[in-house]
Each structure stands twice: as structure tokens, then as C-alpha cells.
Structure 1
Amino acid sequence: MVKTPHPFSNGKKVLFLNCKHCQTLLTDRAMKAMLVARPSVHLYSTDWEPINCRTAFDEQDRLKISCTCELQHTACSCCGNIVGYFIVNPCSRCNSQNTNGHKWVFHLEDVEEASRLNGLGKSWQEEERRHRNSWVAS
């Protein structure tokens, strides 16, 4: 029996992310997300190490969020602009929450999203419409 990929995971679209400053591709596997510690903060995240990114960690400029996770800035390898951060060591609070396991986080203001096709070769929007229509028809 041939397994076909599920059209989407939890209804979340998978996206390409490009650096807003130089248009370099950073990842082809991002999703929109929110911070566990502050749900009002929206961002993008991925569970795969991004391409064209490097850590940009400086002890004097330690990244702070509203929990005690240990973080490192990530910068675009092409232009050097900070585009997000990597969760080096999640705090116990964030580890105990229902998280998606994504450790690479991108700031909305530093990246641009682009649509990508799902595993079936269709756009996520097209597949989402088809999925919604199948629920209505049932």
C-alpha cells in the first residue's frame, strides 16, 4: 500500500521564508506560530535547521524573552541582519507546555513568507479549500 502524505499538519500552512533585507531563502519549512510564554507575540518557526543562517551570539547582547530559555540570535548569512533566534536550551516552563518542537524562530518584521506546494503538489490554500468543502458535503 502506497502512503500519501497528509495534506497539512494541524491545518498549518508550510511556508518558504526569505530574508526581508536581501531576499535570501532562509527555510522552506516554516509555520506561523506564537510564543508559549507570551501568546500575543506572533512569529514564524521551524523544526529544521535553516539554510543561509548563522548564529550571531554576543554575551553583552543576550537575548531576553519572558521566560528563562537560553537563546542565540540568528542572522542571515548573506546580509548579516538578525532575522530571529535559536532556542539552545528551553526552560522548564516552556518544556512542560504543549509546544511544536520548533527551535528556530523568525521575527515577522525581518522575513517575508512565500507560499509553497504541499506534498501532493497543490498549494496549501487550494488543499485547505478542498478540505473545508469535504466537511460541508459530509
Structure 2
Amino acid sequence: MPVKDALFNNSEEKIYSLVCKECRNPLVKYSLKSCLLTDYSVNFYSTNVISEKISTVNGFYKAFTCKCRVTDMGCINCGTIIGYHIMQPCIKCLSSKNNGHLWMFYEKLVYAFDNTKEFKKSEKLDNKCKNELEIER
């Protein structure tokens, strides 16, 4: 899935790259600031751009605040649990306004750096490539 399709296509939204606070390992290049759907005061970073720098760990379990099935997610370098992956969203969360992201990073366990400019450059390049492909057809 192209990155721009996986993230909100909102020009006002900042895009963040994330780094593990424990070992400084880069985790993902593109994520958004998010909040818990059942408690808007709980902040996260989220993405649907899967990274080889993270791995699911332990088994799945029911989320504490809803009926989603989730699994912990850890940094592949140091093993620190840095968030969770929503394996099966519940009906309540699916019916709530959400960004569709299933990879959630705990705000306190990652460093976030504004990566909006790089994202927009890659989006322009992606659009240019699509236009060139359409011309070739």
C-alpha cells in the first residue's frame, strides 16, 4: 500500500518519524499524532506503514478500554514494548471516527521528529510517477 494511502491525506496534519527512546533505533518514517478513541486524553502516534524495525510479541488479548483484539509491539533492536498492534478492531472502534491506523506507539516510549517535508516530497514523487505511467498507457 502506498504511504500516502495509508496515512491521512490532510495537508495540515504533521507527519512524524519515530525512534525508540530506549536504544535510539529508528522505528517508522511516517506516523500521525493520535489519541485513544475511548479516552481522548491518552495520546499515541499511529501508522499503517508496517516496519521491519518492530515486531509483535506475546499473544493477543482484549484491549483494556474496548473489545479490540490487540498484541504488544516491541522494538526489534532492544525488545522494549513500544506500543501495540490492533489485530481485530471492535464494532465500537470501527464505528467511531478514526484514521484506520492499526499500529499504535506509546507517546512516552518513542521520540517523534517532524517528517512532514520528506513525506510531502515522497508524495509528490509518487504522484509524478503515477502521472508518467498514465501517459505511457
CA contact (8 A) 1:55 1:73 kept: yes
Report the CA distance shift for 1:104/1:89 in structure 2 as closer, same or farther (over 3 A): same
Distance 1:120 1:53 in 2: 25
* CA deviation profile, 1:34-79 (whole Å, cap 9, x unmatched): 01111111111001112300011246xx463210100000000000
* CA deviation profile, 1:76-106 (whole Å, cap 9, x unmatched): 0000000000000000000111110000000
Distance 2:20 2:85 in 1: 16
Distance 1:67 1:114 in 2: 30
Write 1 or 2 for the structure with the bigger share of strand. 2
TM-score (norm 1): 0.75
> What stretches of structure 1 move > 3 A for 4+ residues in a row?
none
The structure having more radius of gyration, on CA atoms, is: 1
TM-score (norm 2): 0.75
Query: What amino acid is aligned across from residue 44 of structure 2 in structure 1?
Result: L
Structure 2's unaligned 5+ residue stretches are 1-8, 123-137
Following superposition, the deviation at residue 120 of structure 1 comes to: 3.8
Query: What amino acid is aligned across from residue 112 of structure 1 in structure 2?
Result: Y
Structure 1's unaligned 5+ residue stretches are 1-7, 122-138
Identity of paired residues, percent? 29
Which residue does 1:82 correspond to in 2?
Answer: 81
Following superposition, the deviation at residue 115 of structure 1 comes to: 1.9
Aligned with 2:108: secondary structure?
A: helix
CA contact (8 A) 1:70 1:88 kept: yes
Which residue does 2:40 correspond to in 1?
Answer: 39
Aligned residues: 112
Write 1 or 2 for the structure with the bigger share of helix. 2
